[in-house]
């Protein structure tokens, strides 16, 4: 579709102003008392409802969001300032003990690596998804979505079977004579990255594919007709046009990865501790909710900052379908 | 266009109605047994359990006979976590009447005012085995279990690790060692015992000394997050040795995996049962606890699941072969060390932090 105006907006644009109709009612209708006279300038409920219909339709969702999300989040943040000897108790501990910043750093670095790998692997897949034949697209979608719908624990244990030193992959490598001793691929950062990249790939592929599908073929034709060789067409026309989608997808992957819990716990090694694990431990095992709230707040703030950066400079909105 | 959409809507509505009718029939089917008389008058007990095969065992050993004897219905609910416990009591909507927990919670929960004092005029505590913290104002023990060393016989070429020194002897006993991500898996105790600390001088644990000992085998430690994972590691030989719960080790043996158990210096501990503050069926909860702690009740669960009875008299109703594998049974006499769960309740947070620091070093 060429125009991007929603049906709702079109309706409103073509709607005659209500007061005119009210001021000039049909004589017969007036006689029958079927038309209410509304003085000009005083809003009629019906007018108000009609004018704000889109907003009113949002209300149930908005109420749910406020009640079930905004309020609890604010309470969580509040809880993080309830220390035994001062409002910043928990935050002081996070700053004082290097371990928490180290875990945060590790969480963020691993998530960033996941985002980069997802973007690199996802780009060509997204291209095929956007431009391939119907059959290719269906096949690709199935390949992307079936793991996406598979339970995370099942995926993790599956990878454990494949990656562990006695696992399928090492057995194959040994048999082929490519290695002489098994390569440790689980219980370390390799395992974590394999698991995380696989889980997060759909989030990197789908927005990029959507972005690619919107690209005007004529721009590329113009580039070719002006004599640009394929590499130039890609580097100077296609890549710049698709890059916002790639970055948006990568940011989405990054933000979602920060909350990971199961994958580093199962596929990771001694050092692969994610902040979510410490939060869970403080909630369910140690029961220090204030401290868990402080850790959560830090993650929340970091996520919001990243999101703002994404929206402001990297068009993160394209992920949600904004152009 | 509009027409097409409408047709589609109508079809999907018909499907929806069909589905709803099906659901209605199903709901009626489920509802039927609830209408049965007699149970309702005696009331009920809501029992929060860890679930799984354990839940199946307590249903058979405790719930059914208890209901038969008293008419009180026992309802099992899962998803029992400390977090949920606290939010439930604090929000004044206690749905649980009896909760099974680790013993640290009998101290933490009491300190935070989350627990209801138990009525020992109904519960007979005189038969319960003696030991620090077994019975408190707010808790009774449920069953005995141990944290101990299990090993993969194939990985160790049938060499038997006699004590915890084997955990730190990489030449004599090559392979990975699996420890729990939670510090109270017995692995800190094991390190201190291997380092020459006398069993009666174990607590308060010298965490730093224990972790220094761990550092000797740092690259050979793998951590497990769940006990199921520990069972997997030790069964398939990914770990040659592991500090793990006896129940999981026994399950691995029962599966036919090449796993054996070393009972020397096993750390004996227990699980607790508590009543949350404001429990709606308090009286029934006390009756249930009394029932579960009778020698017969303890024998019933020990015969059903591989945990030991906390009431020694129960062994009268347990066969010698069965007794041999149970915690607190004859195979462990003179070998086990009692865990100091009060110390753990007070130090779990600090120990967890130190363990995380050690892991990142």
pLDDT digits (tens, 9 = 90+) for A141-171: 999 999 889 998 899 889 988 998 878 899 9
**Among candidate residues B159, B183, B169, the one with its CA nearest the CA of residue B243:** B183
- Residue B138, pLDDT > 70, answer yes
Whether B341 and B108 have beta carbons less than 8 Å apart is answered as: no
**B241-245 and B73-77: which strand pairing?**
unpaired
**Rounded mean pLDDT, B306-317:** 95
**Rounded mean pLDDT, B131-140:** 94
Query: Is the CB of A285 less than 8 angstroms away from the CB of B225?
Result: no
- Looking at residue B45, what is its pLDDT? 96
Whether chain A has a CB inside 8 Å of the CB on B350: the answer is: no
- Looking at residue A41, what is its pLDDT? 63
B13 versus A208: which is more confidently predicted? A208
**Rounded mean pLDDT, B22-26:** 42
Choose the weakest-confidence range: A202-206, B39-43, B211-215, B240-244: B39-43
Summary mean pLDDT of chain A: 84
Strands, E, within B202-252: which ranges? Answer: 221-224, 241-245
> What is the distance of C-alpha B178 from the center of its chain?
19
Q: What are the percentages of helix, strand and coil residues in chain A, rounded to 5? A: 75, 0, 25
- Looking at residue A302, what is its pLDDT? 87
Q: How many residues does chain A have?
A: 323
**Among candidate residues B128, B76, B97, the one with its CA nearest the CA of residue B274:** B97
Query: How many CB contacts within 8 angstroms connect chain A with chain B?
Result: 55
- The angle formed by the CA atoms of residues B5, B8 and B11, to the nearest 5 degrees, is 155
**Among candidate residues A291, A304, A205, A292, the one with its CA nearest the CA of residue A258:** A304
**Residue B85 burial (CB < 10 Å; 0-12/13-18/19+)?**
buried
Whether chain A has a CB inside 8 Å of the CB on B229: the answer is: yes
Task: Give the Cβ contact number of residue B237 at 10 Å.
Answer: 20
- Phi and psi based region of residue B157 (left: phi greater than 0; alpha: psi -120 to 50; beta: remaining): left
Distance from the Cα of A251 to chain B's closest Cα (Å) equals 27
Query: Is the CB of A166 less than 8 angstroms away from the CB of B236?
Result: yes
- Looking at residue A285, what is its pLDDT? 83
- Residue B13, pLDDT > 70, answer no
Query: Is the CB of B352 less than 8 angstroms away from the CB of A281?
Result: yes
Round to whole Å and give the CA distance between B249 and B307: 12
- Measured in degrees and rounded to the nearest 5, phi and psi for residue A119 equal -65, -45
Q: Nearest by CB to B83, which of A164, A266, A283?
A: A283
Round to whole Å and give the CA distance between B142 and A50: 64
Whether B47 and B77 have beta carbons less than 8 Å apart is answered as: yes
A317 versus A38: which is more confidently predicted? A317
B160-170 residue pLDDT tens: 999 999 999 99
**Among candidate residues B230, B224, B232, B191, the one with its CA nearest the CA of residue B209:** B191
Express as a percent the part of chain A with pLDDT over 70. Answer: 84
Burial A78-101 (b: 16+ CB within 10 A, else e): ebbbebeeeeebbbebbeeeebbe
Choose the weakest-confidence range: A27-31, A207-211, A271-275: A27-31
Element (H, E) at B14: helix B2-31
Whether chain A has a CB inside 8 Å of the CB on B50: the answer is: no
**Rounded mean pLDDT, B3-18:** 41
Distance from the Cα of A321 to chain B's closest Cα (Å) equals 24
Query: Is the CB of B221 less than 8 angstroms away from the CB of A270?
Result: yes
- Measured in degrees and rounded to the nearest 5, phi and psi for residue A197 equal -65, -45
pTM over 0.95: no
Nearest CA in chain A to B220: A270
Q: Nearest by CB to A286, which of B112, B238, B348?
A: B348
Task: Give the Cβ contact number of residue B55 at 10 Å.
Answer: 17
- Residue A55, pLDDT > 70, answer yes
Q: Nearest by CB to A273, which of B108, B229, B359?
A: B359
**Among candidate residues B170, B113, B165, B169, the one with its CA nearest the CA of residue B138:** B113
Interface test with A, best of B99, B219, B359 (most A CBs within 10 A): B359
Q: How does DSSP classify residue A68?
A: I
Burial A154-187 (b: 16+ CB within 10 A, else e): ebbbebbebbbbebebbeebeeeeeeeeeeebbb
ipTM, two decimals: 0.75
Q: Which residues does chain B have within 8 Å of residue A289's beta carbon, measured at their own beta carbons?
A: 83, 86
Whether chain A has a CB inside 8 Å of the CB on B81: the answer is: yes
Provide residues of A within 8 Å CB-CB of chain B.
Answer: 97-99, 102-103, 106, 164-166, 187, 265-266, 269-271, 273, 277-278, 281, 283-289
Most confident of A71-85, A88-102, B291-305, B324-338: B291-305
**Among candidate residues B188, B99, B268, B355, the one with its CA nearest the CA of residue A286:** B355
Round to whole Å and give the CA distance between B300 and B62: 7
> What is the distance of C-alpha B168 from the center of its chain?
27
CA atoms within 13 A on the CB side of B331: 16
Beta partners for residue B268, in sequence order: B146, B338
A232-274 residue pLDDT tens: 999 999 998 898 889 888 988 998 999 998 899 889 888 899 9
Q: Nearest by CB to A271, which of B348, B349, B359?
A: B359
- Looking at residue A153, what is its pLDDT? 87
Q: Which residues does chain A have within 8 Å of residue B234's beta carbon, measured at their own beta carbons?
A: none
Query: Is the CB of B83 less than 8 angstroms away from the CB of A284?
Result: yes
Q: Which residues does chain A have within 8 Å of residue B237's beta carbon, measured at their own beta carbons?
A: 166
Q: How does DSSP classify residue A75?
A: H
Q: Nearest by CB to B360, which of A166, A273, A288?
A: A273
Distance set, CA B101 to CA A12, A129, A284, B98 (Å): 61, 51, 12, 10
- Looking at residue B76, what is its pLDDT? 96
- Residue A316, pLDDT > 70, answer no
Round to whole Å and give the CA distance between B212 and B214: 5
> What is the distance of C-alpha A250 from the center of its chain?
9
Round to whole Å and give the CA distance between A229 and B239: 57
- Phi and psi based region of residue A166 (left: phi greater than 0; alpha: psi -120 to 50; beta: remaining): alpha
Interface test with B, best of A93, A270, A291 (most B CBs within 10 A): A270
Query: Is the CB of B360 less than 8 angstroms away from the CB of A278?
Result: no
B226-239 residue pLDDT tens: 888 899 999 989 89
- The angle formed by the CA atoms of residues A310, A311 and A314, to the nearest 5 degrees, is 55
Q: Which residues does chain A have within 8 Å of residue B182's beta carbon, measured at their own beta carbons?
A: 281, 285
Q: Nearest by CB to A166, which of B81, B181, B238?
A: B238
Round to whole Å and give the CA distance between A73 and A57: 24
Round to whole Å and give the CA distance between A144 and B22: 33
């Amino acid at each position: 579709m060429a125009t991007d105006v929603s049906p709702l907006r079109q309706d409103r644009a073509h709607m005659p102003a209500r007061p005119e109709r009210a001021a000039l009612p049909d004589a017969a209708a007036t006689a029958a008392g079927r038309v209410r006279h509304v003085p000009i300038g005083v809003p009629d409920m019906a007018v108000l409802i009609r004018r704000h219909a889109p907003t009113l339709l949002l209300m149930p969702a908005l109420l749910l969001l406020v009640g079930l999300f905004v309020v609890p989040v604010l309470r969580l943040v509040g809880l993080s300032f309830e220390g035994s000897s001062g409002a910043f108790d928990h935050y002081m501990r996070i700053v004082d003990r290097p371990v928490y910043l180290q875990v945060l750093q590790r969480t963020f670095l691993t998530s960033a690596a996941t985002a980069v790998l997802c973007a690199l692997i996802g780009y060509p897949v997204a291209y095929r998804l956007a431009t391939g034949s119907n059959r290719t697209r269906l096949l690709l979608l199935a390949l992307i979505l079936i793991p996406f719908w598979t339970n995370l624990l099942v995926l993790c244990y599956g990878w454990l079977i494949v990656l562990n030193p006695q696992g399928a992959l090492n057995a194959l490598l040994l048999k082929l004579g490519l290695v002489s001793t098994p390569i440790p691929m689980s219980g370390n950062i390799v395992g974590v990255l394999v698991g995380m990249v696989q889980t997060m790939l759909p989030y990197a592929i789908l927005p990029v594919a959507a972005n690619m599908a919107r690209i005007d073929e004529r721009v590329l034709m113009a580039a070719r007709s002006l004599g640009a060789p394929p590499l130039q067409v890609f580097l100077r026309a296609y890549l710049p046009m698709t890059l916002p989608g790639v970055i948006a997808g990568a940011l989405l992957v990054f933000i979602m990865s920060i909350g990971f819990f199961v994958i580093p716990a199962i596929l990771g090694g001694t050092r692969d501790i994610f902040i979510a694990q410490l939060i869970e431990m403080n909630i369910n095992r140690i029961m220090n909710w204030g401290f868990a709230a402080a850790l959560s707040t830090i993650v929340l703030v970091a996520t919001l900052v990243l999101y703002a950066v994404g929206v402001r400079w990297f068009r993160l909105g394209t992920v949600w379908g904004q152009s | 266009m509009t027409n097409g959409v409408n047709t589609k809507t109508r079809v999907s509505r018909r499907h929806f109605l069909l589905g709803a009718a099906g659901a209605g029939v199903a709901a009626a089917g489920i509802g039927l047994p609830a209408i049965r008389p007699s149970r309702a008058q005696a009331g009920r007990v809501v029992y929060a359990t860890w679930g799984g095969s354990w839940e199946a065992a307590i249903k058979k050993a405790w719930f059914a006979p208890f209901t038969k004897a008293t008419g009180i219905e026992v309802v099992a609910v899962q998803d029992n976590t400390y977090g949920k416990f606290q939010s439930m009591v604090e929000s004044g909507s206690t749905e649980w009447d009896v909760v099974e927990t680790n013993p640290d919670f009998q101290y933490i929960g009491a300190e935070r005012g989350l627990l209801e004092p138990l009525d020992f005029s109904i519960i007979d505590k005189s038969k319960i085995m003696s030991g620090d913290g077994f019975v408190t104002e707010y808790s009774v023990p449920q069953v005995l279990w141990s944290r101990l060393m299990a090993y993969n016989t194939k990985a160790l070429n049938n060499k038997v690790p006699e004590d915890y020194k084997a955990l730190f002897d990489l030449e004599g006993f090559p392979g990975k060692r699996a420890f729990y991500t939670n510090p109270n898996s017995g692995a800190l105790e094991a390190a201190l015992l291997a380092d020459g600390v006398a069993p009666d001088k174990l607590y308060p644990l010298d965490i730093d000394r224990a972790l220094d000992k761990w550092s000797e085998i740092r690259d050979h430690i793998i951590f497990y997050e769940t006990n199921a994972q520990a069972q997997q590691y030790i069964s398939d030989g990914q770990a040659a040795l592991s500090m793990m719960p006896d129940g999981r080790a026994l399950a691995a043996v029962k599966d036919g995996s090449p796993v054996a158990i070393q009972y020397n210096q096993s750390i004996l501990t227990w699980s607790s049962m508590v009543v949350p503050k404001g429990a709606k069926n308090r009286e029934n909860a006390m009756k249930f606890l009394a029932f579960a702690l009778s020698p017969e009740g303890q024998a019933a669960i020990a015969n059903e699941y591989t945990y030991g009875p906390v009431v020694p008299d129960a062994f009268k109703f347990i066969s010698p072969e069965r007794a041999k594998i149970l915690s607190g049974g004859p195979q462990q006499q003179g070998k086990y060390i009692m865990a100091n769960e009060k110390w753990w309740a007070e130090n779990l947070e600090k120990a967890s932090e130190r363990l995380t620091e050690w892991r990142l070093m």
